[in-house]
Structure 1
Amino acid sequence: MKIGVPKEIKNNENRVALTPGGVFELTNYGHEVFVQETAGEGSGFADADYREAGAIMLPTIEAVYAMSEMIVKVKEPTPYEYPLIKKNQVVFTYFHFASSLDLTRAMVASKAVCIAYETVRDDDGTLPLLTPMSEVAGRMAIQQGAKYLEKPIKGRGVLLGGVPGVPPGKVLILGAGVVGVQAAKMAAGLGAHVTMLDINMKRLRYVNDVMPPHVVTEFSSVYNIKRHIKNHDLIIGAVLIPGAKAPRLITRAMLKDMRPGTVLVDVAVDQGGCFETTRPTTHENPTYIINDIVHYCVANMPGAVPYTSTLALTNVTLFYILKLANLGWQTACKEYPDLGRGLSIVQGKIMQPEITEAFEGM
C-alpha cells in the first residue's frame, strides 16, 4: 500500500504521525511510505532519518495526498486539506467529528474512508489510541494550570504545593478517566489537595485505592460541582463520552461563584468542552479571561511536547496501521472489531450515531 504522512499544519502542532521506526516497519513489509519534507522536524526527527528508514520524501502536502492510498495523520484535516482528500482514500487520524459540523460535511463530501483514532475501542470499552494522548494531556493539564495560576498571568497567585505554614492549592478534577487519573497523579505529586468527581463508582473506588490520602473522591452532581468551584484554585475538565460531545458541567452563570483568578483547563475541548465558556485556543494564544476566570482550552495540548507525544502515539497506532496496510481497510476492520469501531464516515455515509446526534440527525 502507498501510505502518506503529511506535515501537520494546525497551529503549533509539532507532532508527526509516524516516527522513522514506524516507517521502517512499514517498508519492511513492502509498503511505500511518502513523508512530506520537514514533517518530523518538530518532533526531533530529520528528513535524513526518514530516508534511512526507507521513506520517499516529497516536497509538498499536495504531493503526499496525491500519491497515497492511505493518509496517516495526528490531527483532523484542516480546511486547506479538505479538497486534497480523494474518494476511497483511507484517512486515519484523530477526527473528533462531533465538535465540527464543517469537518463532518467535508469528509462526507470527500467520500473517503475516515477512521478515527479516538473511537477505536476494545471489547472492554478502553480506547487504545486515545489513551496515550490522554495520559500526556492529563499530566500537562496540571503543569499548565500551575503556571497560569501565577499572578503575572492573571491567576490567583497560588503555589499548588504550598510551603510550610501555608496550605497547598486545591485542584478539582471533573472525571476519573485516564485524563483525570493522570492529572490527579501530577497534582498529588506537587502536594496539592485534590478532589475528583465522577458518576462511575467503580472508577472512584479505583482512584480511592491507588491515590494518596490528599486525593479525595466524591460522586459528581450539579450540587457538588457548584459547592466545590467556590473554593478550588484549579479546575480540570476531563470528561469523555467516546465519539460524542462532552457534557457541559460548568455553565457561564457558575463563573460568578468562583474566586477571581481561578484557572479552568478544559481537556475535553476537542469534543466541545466541559465548560459552557470553552472555546478552542492554540499554544500561540492559549488563554482568555471571562469574568476574571482564566480559561486554558488548547485543542492539541500534547503538541507542546511533540517528542514524547509522537513516540507515545506511534507505539499504539503502528499495530493498526500495519493491519490496514497489510489487509486493506475492509478486511482489517472485519478481522479486528476494535479497529472497525473507529469507522466514522465511509464513502459519504456516517457510521456513528453520536455524530448524527451531535448535529441533530445530519
Structure 2
Amino acid sequence: MEFGLPKEQGVVKTQPPFGEVREGRVALTPQGVRELVDRGHRVYVERGAGERAGFPDGAYEEAGARLVSREEAFGRGEVVLKVGRPTLEEIALLRPGATVMAFMHLAVAESSLVEAMAEKGLTAIGYELIGAGGRRPVLKAMSEIAGRLAPQIAGRLLEAPFGPGVLLSGLPGIPPADVVILGAGVLGRAAARSFLGMGASVYLLDKELSALEEASKEAKGAVTALITQSRLERYAAFADVLVGAVAVPGERAPLLLSRALLSRMRPGTVLLDFAIDQGGIAETSRVGVYQEMGITHFCLPNVPALVPRTSSHALTATLLPFLLEVEEDPLGVPELRQGAYLLLGQKGGHLE
C-alpha cells in the first residue's frame, strides 16, 4: 500500500493576541512512518510536511519515507493522510478512487467539495468518526488537547488590553473567574479539570445525567447541572468564560446561543466555541478570533494546532494502530470503515 503525507496549507488570520494560526500538525511522525515502512508499505512525504511540528525532512528519510513534491504526495498515495479536509485544489491532485483521511466534518462542508470528491470516486474517511462501540480514539485525543488548552487561551483573552483584565484564579479576598462549560464530554471534562487547576470557579452543564455523573468524578469541585433553557440563560449571564464543548460526531453542532441570549451576557465575556468545526454553538460564531456584541469570540477549528508537536504525536498514537491493520484496502479495517463519509464516491450513512 502507498501512503501520501502532504504538508498542511491552512492558516487562520485572527486579531491579537493570536495573530496568524497556521496548521502545523502532521498525521504521522517519523516514528509512525517507520512502523508502516517496516510492514512493507511505501510512504511518500511532501518536503517540509513536518517542519512546523519539529520533524525535519531528514528524520522522515531515516524512517524510510521518500521525500516528494506536493503533487506527488497527493498523486502517488493510494491513501492520503491529511489533517484538515482537502480543498478543491487538493482534490484535483488526488488519483481517482484514492482514499483520503482527515478531520472531514463534511456535515458542514460546502456541497461543491463533497460533490468534487464524489465525482472523482474518492473514499473519504473522517478521523472524528473512526472507532467502534462508541469509542472514537482520534477525536478523543484532540478533544483532550483542546480542553487542556482552554485555560491558557481564556487567560490570554481575559488579559488587558484585549480583554477586561481578569485573572482566572482571583486572589485572597477577590473571587476567581466564573467559567461555564456547555457539554460534559471528553473536551468539556478536560476543560473543567484544567480550569479548576487554575483556581477558577467551574460550572458544567450537559443534557445527560450520566455524563454529569462521570464529570463529577473527574472534575471534583465543579458544579454540575442538567442543561435547560432557563439554566442556560442564568449561567451565561454571569460567566466570565463560556466554553462550547457540545458536539454530535458527524452532525452539525446544536445552536445553543441566540443573539438575544448573547445580548444579556456581560461585556468582555470570553466565548470559546470549540464546536466551530461543526458549525458552532452561537449565532455569532464564525471562524476567527474577534469581538462582537461586546463578547470576545474564540472560534478556531484547529485548536490543537497551537501545540503541533504534541498533537502530531497524539494523532500518530491513535491513528497508527488502525493503519497497521491495512493490507490492500483501508475499508477492510472495521474502525476505518466506520469513519467513511464516502465509499468510492458513494455517500455513506453519515451524509444520507
Q: TM-score, normalised by structure 1?
A: 0.92
Partner of 1:329: 330
Runs of 4+ in 1 over 3 A off after TM superposition: none
Q: Which runs of 5+ in 1 are unaligned?
A: 282-286, 357-362
Pairwise CA distance, 1:254: 1.2
Partner of 1:45: 55
Is the Cα contact below 8 Å between 2:193 and 2:218 reproduced in 1?
Answer: no
Q: Deviations along 1:231-251, whole A, 9 cap, x unmatched?
A: 110000001111000001111
Pairwise CA distance, 1:327: 4.1
The one-letter amino acid of 2:329's match is G
Is the Cα contact below 8 Å between 2:323 and 2:330 reproduced in 1?
Answer: no
Pairwise CA distance, 1:149: 1.1
Partner of 2:254: 247
Match runs of 1:1-362 below 5 Å: 1-11=1-11, 12-58=22-68, 60-101=69-110, 102-123=112-133, 125-153=134-162, 155-213=163-221, 215-281=222-288, 287-324=289-326, 326-332=327-333, 336=334, 338-353=335-350, 355-356=351-352
Pairwise CA distance, 1:157: 1.8
The one-letter amino acid of 1:103's match is L
The one-letter amino acid of 1:140's match is L
Identity value in percent: 40
Pairwise CA distance, 1:151: 2.6
Partner of 1:284: none
Distance 2:249 2:131 in 1: 9
The one-letter amino acid of 2:26's match is V
CA RMSD of aligned residues (A): 1.2
Distance 1:330 1:158 in 2: 50
Helix, strand or coil at the partner of 2:253: coil
Pairwise CA distance, 1:82: 2.1
Distance 1:157 1:55 in 2: 49
The one-letter amino acid of 1:242's match is P
The one-letter amino acid of 1:341's match is Q
Is the Cα contact below 8 Å between 1:122 and 1:128 reproduced in 2?
Answer: no
Is the Cα contact below 8 Å between 2:37 and 2:43 reproduced in 1?
Answer: yes
Q: Cα 1:122–1:331, aligned 2, differ >3 Å: closer, same or farther?
A: closer
The one-letter amino acid of 1:131's match is K
Distance 1:96 1:115 in 2: 10
Distance 1:100 1:151 in 2: 36
Q: Which runs of 5+ in 2 are unaligned?
A: 12-21
Q: Deviations along 1:255-313, whole A, 9 cap, x unmatched?
A: 110111001011111111111111112xxxxx111111100001111111001000011
Helix, strand or coil at the partner of 1:171: strand
Is the Cα contact below 8 Å between 2:189 and 2:218 reproduced in 1?
Answer: no
Partner of 2:17: none
Is the Cα contact below 8 Å between 1:86 and 1:111 reproduced in 2?
Answer: no
